[in-house]
């Protein structure tokens, strides 16, 4: 893999030289980016000599004239490792600052991040550092907890850089994950559908599309080709996915059935079960008195896709108001899918609009697995890993 190693200004910066060498030994290509603080402890020349590659530091450096290095390097990296990460760098990464080369590259990149903090234990315990770590978790960052031990200034506590072997192992695990879905096509339905009543009004639902977007990112991180058939959703879909925008359930079904043979199909969309039987031309006026809206059932998109692509592993989502496994199992049988991911919509910390989710995955073959509460992105990676053990 192409590993971008970001080094920030901790006393542990000298250990980044060993890390660079071990990563190269493991077969990875390594480029190094130093913060100004790191350059106080170690020199660019050290890493240039070690890696045989240019080293970046200042926000406006351009080793190749006319090419913006931060974009170039962000695209180049398969993974970004920040080790050691000081409190300052950790917080800047978590909050999305971009005022030096390292933070700018991280912000511009969609590569997975591995962060190995090293700092004074009191700084590690600070609220804002914990907040930044939570924010980083939402973008699939692996945070390697600092080791407990004696740190400078005579203190003892968690603050020492994780062992080099552990950091290298984290990179290796991402390499395995990255290849897990290589050559596979993942088809995802996402977001709400909207069903027109007249030219102005429609029936829809509260789906934000966050779970669909997270699944798309997860599948891309795992090396898959990704197609998302998406209703008008607020969550932003990754640029690397092929997105087919639709409005109605019928459009969603037609677009998904027209996709090239998928290996995995995931129904994350909140498809309207009913649509108005007729769509009124123009605008229904208020002077018509009582009106009744006649609804007709929409096709079950995910069940139809399971039938259209019998070779694919098709996963339906089941939004259940409570931990009801029997209803979800019946739903799975009715839809003829490979598995169903149950999420409990009675909980406010997970589900619609939330950043976290907790899935219970039931397989038609009888097995089941639970993700526990994680970010939607981590849930997506977890779900895809369950399908390809």
By CB under 6 A, name the binding residues for ligand CTP. 189, 249, 267, 269, 271, 273, 298, 300-302, 316-319, 331
CB 63 within 8 A of CB 56: yes
- Listed in sequence order, the residues at least 6 apart from 4 whose beta carbon sits closer than 8 Å to its beta carbon are 30, 31, 32, 33, 73, 76, 77, 79, 80, 81, 105, 109, 111
For the annotated catalytic residues, the residue numbers are: 205
Shortest spacing between CB 348 and ligand CTP, in angstroms: 18
Distance, CA of 4 to CA of 329 (rounded, Å) = 45
Least distance between ligand CTP and beta carbon 204 (Å): 13
Give, in degrees to the nearest 5, the angle at Cα 204 between 199 and 205: 160
3-state class (DSSP) for residue 207:
coil
Residue 10: name the closest of 152, 158, 142 by CA.
152
Nearer to ligand CTP, 6 or 231 (CB): 231
- Give the whole-angstrom CA distance, residue 251 versus residue 224: 24
Residue of 320, 344, 321, 323 whose CA lies nearest to 331: 320
Give me the least distance between CB of 212 and ligand CTP, in Å please. Answer: 9
| CB of 243 vs ligand CTP, minimal distance in Å | 17
Chain position whose Cβ is nearest to ligand CTP: 267
Residue 192, burial from CB neighbour count under 10 angstroms (0-12, 13-18, 19+): buried
Under 8 Å between Cβ of 255 and 189 = no
Which is nearer to ligand CTP, 15 or 331 (by Cβ)?
331
Least distance (Å) between residue 277 CB and ligand CTP: 16
Which CB atom, from 136 or from 218, has the smaller least distance to ligand CTP? 218
Given the complex with ligand CTP, which of 283 and 334 has the nearer CB atom?
A: 334
Return d(Cα 354, Cα 40) in angstroms, integer.
Answer: 42
Does residue 66 sit in helix, strand or coil?
coil
Find the shortest distance in angstroms from Cβ 369 to ligand CTP.
17
Residue closer to ligand CTP, measured from CB, 181 or 301? 301
Q: Which is nearer to ligand CTP, 79 or 383 (CB)?
A: 383
């Amino acid at each position: 893999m192409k590993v971008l190693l970001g080094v920030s200004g901790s006393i542990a910066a000298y250990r980044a030289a060993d890390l660079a060498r071990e990563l190269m030994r493991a077969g990875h290509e390594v480029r190094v980016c130093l913060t100004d603080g790191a350059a106080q402890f170690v020199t660019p020349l050290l890493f240039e000599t070690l890696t045989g590659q240019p080293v970046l530091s200042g926000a406006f450096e351009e080793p190749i004239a006319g090419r913006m290095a931060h974009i170039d390097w962000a695209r180049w990296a398969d993974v970004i490792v920040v080790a050691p990460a000081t409190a300052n760098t950790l917080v800047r990464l978590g909050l999305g600052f971009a005022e030096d080369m390292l933070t700018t590259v991280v912000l511009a990149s969609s590569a997975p991040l591995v962060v190995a903090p090293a700092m004074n234990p009191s700084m590690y315990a600070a609220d804002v550092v914990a907040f930044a770590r939570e924010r980083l978790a939402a973008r699939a960052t692996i945070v390697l907890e600092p080791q407990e031990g004696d740190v400078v200034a005579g203190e003892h506590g968690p603050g020492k850089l994780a062992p080099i072997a552990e950091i290298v192992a984290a990179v290796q695990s991402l390499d395995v994950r990255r290849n897990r879905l290589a050559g596979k096509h993942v088809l995802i339905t996402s977001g709400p559908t909207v069903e027109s009543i007249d030219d102005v009004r429609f029936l829809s639902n509260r789906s934000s599309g966050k779970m669909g977007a997270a699944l798309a990112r997860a599948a891309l991180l795992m090396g898959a080709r990704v197609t998302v058939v998406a209703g008008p959703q607020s969550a932003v879909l990754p640029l690397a996915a092929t997105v087919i925008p639709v409005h109605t359930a019928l459009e969603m079904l037609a677009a998904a059935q027209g996709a090239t043979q998928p290996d995995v199909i995931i129904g994350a969309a909140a498809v309207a079960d009913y649509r108005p039987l007729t769509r009124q031309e123009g605008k229904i006026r208020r002077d018509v008195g009582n009106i009744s809206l006649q609804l007709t059932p929409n096709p079950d998109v995910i069940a139809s896709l399971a039938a259209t692509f019998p070779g694919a592993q098709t996963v339906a989502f089941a939004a259940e108001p409570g931990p009801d496994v029997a209803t979800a199992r019946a739903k799975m049988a009715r839809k003829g899918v490979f598995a169903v991911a149950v999420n409990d919509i009675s909980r406010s910390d997970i589900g619609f609009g939330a950043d976290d989710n907790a899935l219970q995955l039931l397989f038609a073959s009888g097995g089941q697995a639970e993700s526990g509460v994680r970010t939607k992105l981590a849930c997506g990676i977890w779900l895809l890993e369950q399908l390809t053990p």
